[in-house]
Structure 1
């Protein structure tokens, strides 16, 4: 019997503090930085983003999204035998214990399920999903909880209007289960470390203190150019592996970074804008959380339904990128 992996539940969570462009512009003005709602919207499509309160970590957001996904799947936490969590903002310096292990504990899991973090920045959820798909299809695991969770507000320089207006906090999750019917039809991942400097946090820890810059750095023009180039290619690679054409796709859910990147990719693939799921206007760029956040929203509002074929794709620092074709 052929083993497939299938998404059987989705969930998401956004911190309660919703920050408008105007509120952010007022905050920046206090630092002598000029920006406006019009400036932000015209360059990114973003109107709002959410920020976590002090003391709230990626694991806290991830737990909330995971609980929703488990409920949607009709499962208890101990039914899960694999947790893969994608984040660039882990709970602990050095990344350990892993945020996945922290989530496991906060969910009250006692069954010894494997748990690990994946770091591929904004492509993190694509990487985590591909790993879970392989482990389920390989027969070693049955039910996987795949989470993207971020508190990017903690690494933003609020004196740099080119980056601080773009990012937000949030979490999204899916339950992937062993299935006799097709679910994840294809995945494709790539990376090119020669572009590491265009999107990074160029600092590290030395002698218990931060050495270098602990704030996010981005060369916006370089990221835009590379993202538009690779997203179309990897989407077509995944379609080819699945034996499908772009016209077979019901919905395209890309990483929610910039509306212009998303629209450009859809246009290159000859997909109508009506098939594009957009949440960047209300969430900002939530990095590894953005794809599962958008997927959950589209599932819960009834757009994405059972049987639909969905193209998921992301691109992020590293430089990393990936895509998946999923039949819901």
Structure 2
């Protein structure tokens, strides 16, 4: 989008200020799968221990030839195919595992997917990154800065997780997901109705990768204080979901589907119980792909759409909790669309 287009007032066909509407959904997974049996060979663990504590049976991992960018670009292309369009006005990319600290990856994703000289930037909010990016992209549309935005999340946690650490090596997988947002009326299915975003820097050390100054030499692996994270994740996501449900003028009882960050099955089960939701109303797609951090919500959405657990018209809340500490939730009526998925 040219600079002359910036600042235009986004309007729906009725003339009202536009909302941001989800119009396309795409994902990409590495084709290489690592099951629990493969991890049991190198870790002091068992298939039963992994399944009962995480709900994970296998996870996808990239080969050395595949980059975070490769996954991101393929997911972005698939989202565009799902939306039936070729180009957008902007791109927001969420990741904790970029190929490099500088420059941002979003402009290269835009270039590699044929978007031209559009606005493009990265967001880092760990597992909350997709929802932070979704809220930011939605604000670009409602402000009139863009009429359409790609929101992409991609992770290759297999490159930052210590393969000898049982507490993290069994959890994480690689993958990417993306949605297309476009301007549309607030009462259209797919419109983003409410957001709740928050953070608590007092817990910054609970989920972290040491920096160069902290650890100038040697290995710098991802670490997580599992029990403390579990307790805070359930508390913060439950409160955040309640706020979004209230802002949407719904009630928990009328919520059709909860799509949480796919951390582990125990957190998802505890969150549903805390909210008083039947377990079947909380999407859990962990078994075959594991925890994919920022990419987990779009991947979970695609899985739920493909299996028809998530259907058009469903009152839906997306929620996440991650490093920072950070959390986020978004409410919408799920639209009619088909997810486009692929592997690399």
Q: Distance in 1 between matches of 2:144 and 2:330?
A: 20
Q: Distance in 2 between matches of 1:210 and 1:62?
A: 30
The alignment partner of 2:212 has SS state of strand
Partner of 1:168: 173
Count of residues paired in the alignment: 316
Residue 39 in 1 paired to residue 54 in 2? no
Report the CA distance shift for 1:205/1:113 in structure 2 as closer, same or farther (over 3 A): farther
Partner of 2:151: 146
Partner of 1:11: 26
In structure 2, runs of 5+ residues without a counterpart are: 1-15, 335-344
Which structure shows the higher helix fraction? 1
Q: Distance in 2 between matches of 1:217 and 1:149?
A: 19
CA contact (8 A) 2:186 2:193 kept: no
Q: CA deviation at 1:49?
A: 0.4
Q: Distance in 2 between matches of 1:22 and 1:251?
A: 32
CA deviations 1:24-58 (Å, max 9, x no partner) are: 111x1xxxx31111111111111110000103111
Q: CA deviation at 1:227?
A: 0.6
Report the CA distance shift for 1:54/1:81 in structure 2 as closer, same or farther (over 3 A): same
Q: Distance in 1 between matches of 2:124 and 2:216?
A: 20
Q: Distance in 2 between matches of 1:313 and 1:99?
A: 25
Partner of 1:158: 163
Q: TM-score, normalised by structure 2?
A: 0.89
Residue 20 in 1 paired to residue 38 in 2? no
Q: Distance in 1 between matches of 2:39 and 2:26?
A: 28
CA contact (8 A) 2:317 2:330 kept: yes
Q: CA deviation at 1:245?
A: 0.9
In structure 1, runs of 5+ residues without a counterpart are: none
Q: CA deviation at 1:303?
A: 2.6
Q: CA deviation at 1:108?
A: 2.1
CA contact (8 A) 2:137 2:151 kept: yes
CA contact (8 A) 2:89 2:118 kept: yes
CA contact (8 A) 2:261 2:296 kept: yes
Partner of 1:203: 211
Q: Distance in 2 between matches of 1:185 and 1:131?
A: 14
The alignment partner of 2:30 has SS state of coil
**C-alpha RMSD over aligned residues:** 1.5
CA deviations 1:97-132 (Å, max 9, x no partner) are: 21211211211222x211111000000001000111
The alignment partner of 1:116 has SS state of strand
Partner of 1:55: 65
